[in-house]
């Protein structure tokens, strides 16, 4: 499969030189007014950049999530892994994962103990919607074009230190055992790393687990519950979610992006593995009413292109459609662990924009 055709690079200018931000970008989306919204998997904030012209985004502003929604606590990280915009709302999702303490490489016996320690930051179990008005995140606003219709910030209902989604999946025949074992994300455990929203439908891509080479997308719908809370909608027969299994060449899902009813899927290695990353297209994802399984011979799933690969750096994490050089369907990618060549200054970083090829499927 050929490498993606690089149309341009976009310069992202921040007012911070923190490596926890610039070197840990994990999600990006774009609102109709042209603003870019970015998240770091080390922060509990959302970053906004404004278009400055000539392929530059700046005028950096930070929004603290606990100013708009109730988090589980004020200390643990959210591990933001996905952002999307739909119908006046910015949607944000955390990884929902367990983590294993890292070895530091200094004292072997202490490192051995560290590798036995498993924990979960409660804030990782976050699925939230945030109203956007005139380039700002606001707690609530009434729509001027639809009297009585109010946009309100809300999170998926909390249950015993996690949320309704993890509660619903606890007994799932494919995913329940991974949650019951509290298997960390970097050990092929449960790990959300992508979100795409269309109306009431929310698609969540899993980096793990990958089951005998099959990656998983969860599909849910939410509805308003108590003030500030969302609940899972019954999809029929008491089912609160659907599962879509994809043959991504053994890779997990790193991000999702909707495009004319199709789902663009950024796929990459699971766990801590280094390896090439690929873009896929899954056709007509809004039409399904049951669990599905898609091979590359199905006529619905295709590989679009390979992303450039450098061992130890440039791990593609965020994905958003961005018009570029006359192409309506430019596809911008932001990177975790960026190569030094992407850092022209301590406070700025380059993202890539690839040409999105036409689908070869009917």
Is pLDDT of 52 > 70? yes
Question: How far, in Å, CA of 331 to CA of 259, rounded?
Answer: 10
In whole angstroms, what separates CA 337 from the centre of its chain?
16
CA distance 277 to 62: 30
The arithmetic mean of pLDDT across residues 265-285, rounded, is 94
* Number of separate helices (H) and strands (E) present in the chain: 4, 29
Q: Which residues of 258-280 are buried (b: 16+ CB within 10 A; e: fewer)?
A: beeebbbbbbbbbbeeeeebbbb
* DSSP three-state, residue 286: helix
**Mean predicted confidence (pLDDT) in 270-297:** 93
Taking Cα atoms as reference points, which of 59, 63, 68, 58 lies closest to residue 46?
A: 63
Q: Tell me the C-alpha distance between 362 and 359, whole Å.
A: 8
Q: How confident is the model at residue 276 (pLDDT cuts 50, 70, 90)?
A: confident
- Can you tell me the distance from the alpha carbon of 68 to that of 228, in angstroms, rounded to the nearest whole number? 10
**Res. 362 pLDDT band, cuts 50 70 90:** low
Polymer length in residues for the chain? 362
Over residues 20-37, mean pLDDT: 96
DSSP state of 278: E
Q: How far is CA 352 from CA 168, 300, 349, in A?
A: 37, 27, 10
Q: How confident is the model at residue 299 (pLDDT cuts 50, 70, 90)?
A: very high
What is the predicted pLDDT for the residue at 297? 95
Q: What is the DSSP letter of 85?
A: E
What are the phi and psi torsion angles at 279 (to 5°)? -105, 135
Mean pLDDT across 201-210: 97
pLDDT recorded at residue 80: 96
**Tens digits of residue pLDDT in 119-165:** 989 999 999 999 999 999 999 988 767 767 899 999 999 998 899 99
Q: How far is CA 317 from CA 141, 179, 252, in A?
A: 31, 24, 12
Report the chain's mean pLDDT, rounded to a whole number: 94
- Over residues 237-249, the pLDDT tens digits come to 999 999 999 999 9
Distances (CA, A) of 330 to 10, 55, 78, 214, 251: 12, 13, 29, 28, 24
Of all residues in the chain, what percent carry a pLDDT higher than 90? 82
C-alpha 204/C-alpha 280 separation (Å) is 15
pLDDT at position 1 over 80: no
């Amino acid at each position: 499969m050929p490498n993606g055709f690089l149309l341009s690079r976009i310069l992202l200018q921040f007012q911070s030189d923190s490596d926890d931000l610039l070197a840990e970008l994990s999600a990006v989306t774009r609102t109709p007014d042209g603003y870019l919204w970015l998240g770091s998997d080390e922060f509990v904030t959302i970053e906004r950049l404004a278009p400055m012209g000539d392929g530059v985004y700046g005028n950096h502003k930070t929004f603290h999530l606990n100013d708009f929604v109730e988090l589980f606590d004020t200390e643990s990280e959210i591990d933001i892994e996905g952002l999307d915009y739909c119908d006046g709302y910015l949607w944000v999702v955390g990884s929902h994962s367990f983590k294993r303490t890292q070895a530091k490489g200094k004292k072997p016996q202490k490192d051995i103990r560290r590798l036995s320690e498993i924990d979960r930051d409660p804030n990782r179990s976050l699925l939230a919607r945030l109203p956007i008005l005139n380039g700002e995140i606001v707690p609530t606003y009434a729509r001027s074009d639809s009297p009585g219709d109010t946009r309100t910030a809300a999170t998926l209902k909390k249950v015993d230190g996690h949320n309704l989604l993890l509660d619903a999946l606890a007994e799932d025949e494919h995913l329940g055992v991974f949650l019951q074992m509290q298997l960390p994300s970097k050990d092929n455990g449960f790990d959300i790393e992508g979100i795409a929203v269309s109306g009431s439908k929310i698609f969540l891509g899993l980096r793990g687990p990958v089951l005998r080479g099959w990656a998983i997308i969860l599909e849910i719908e939410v509805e308003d519950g108590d003030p500030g809370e969302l609940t899972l909608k019954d999809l029929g027969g008491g089912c609160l979610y659907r599962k879509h299994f994809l043959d991504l060449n053994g890779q997990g899902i790193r991000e999702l992006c909707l495009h004319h009813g199709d789902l663009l899927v950024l796929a990459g290695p699971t766990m801590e593995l280094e390896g090439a990353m690929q873009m896929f297209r899954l056709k007509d994802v809004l039409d399904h009413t049951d669990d599905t399984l898609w091979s590359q011979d199905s006529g619905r799933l295709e590989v679009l292109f390979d992303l450039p690969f450098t061992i130890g750096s440039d791990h593609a994490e965020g994905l958003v459609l961005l018009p570029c050089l006359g192409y309506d369907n430019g596809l911008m990618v932001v990177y975790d662990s960026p190569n030094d060549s992407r850092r022209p200054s301590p406070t700025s970083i380059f993202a890539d924009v690839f040409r999105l090829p036409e689908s070869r499927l009917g």
